[in-house]
Amino acid sequence: MIQRIQSVYLLIAAIATTALLFMPIGEFYFMPNGAQDFMVFTYNAFSVKDITPGATASLTTNYIAILIAISAVLSIVTVFMFKKRQRQITMNYVNMLIFLFVIALALFIYPDIIFVKKGLLVDGEELSYNFWILIPLCITALCLFLANKAIKKDEKMVRAADRLR
């Protein structure tokens, strides 16, 4: 029963989550003490890189990429668990929690704690987020929610049919 609507939702969620891997999350500018020029950093799921010409500074953010990849794979695996709807619902809830943690990690923990601790951001400086990142974030969250709703609806129909037998 791969042709169910929740399978479509889960595949869309997997595609949108995979797109997050390759989109820049944001960028920020940093001026070291005593420097005359500022450094421009771009922040994505894999790293924070200095994109100033001739610079090589970077910081890895692989944990975000790993969690995003786990969320995408979990969406695809959940599609093929169509015979065990209760487990599918549970896996979808786990996926939602992982995705919520990805959002917290990428938008709050790394910029507000890790970057400040590493000296890349000074308190009061802002990371300018790429607003296009909201599209796959919202699509993934919405699709995971709708998939869970459709799976519950299927489970309810199966239980009603079992009651009639």
In whole angstroms, give the CA distance from residue 158 to residue 138.
30
In whole angstroms, give the CA distance from residue 145 to residue 117.
35
pTM given for the model:
0.84
Paired tokens of 119: 């000296």
Strands 58-60 and 47-50: antiparallel
Q: Which of 37, 54, 2, 39 is nearest to 115 (CA)?
A: 39
User: In what order do the strands lie in the sheet containing 39-43?
Assistant: 58-60, 47-50, 39-43, 26-30, 128-129
Contact status, residue 29 vs residue 40, Cβ threshold 8 Å:
yes
Beta strands in the chain (DSSP E): 26-30, 39-43, 47-50, 58-60, 128-129
Tell me the pLDDT tens digit for each residue of 7-48: 899 999 999 999 999 998 888 877 666 566 777 788 888 888
Domain ranges of the chain: 5-164
Q: Does domain 5-164 have CATH number 1.20.140?
A: yes
- In this prediction, residue 97 carries a pLDDT of 94
Paired tokens of 54: 């001739």
* Mean pLDDT (whole number) for 91-95: 93
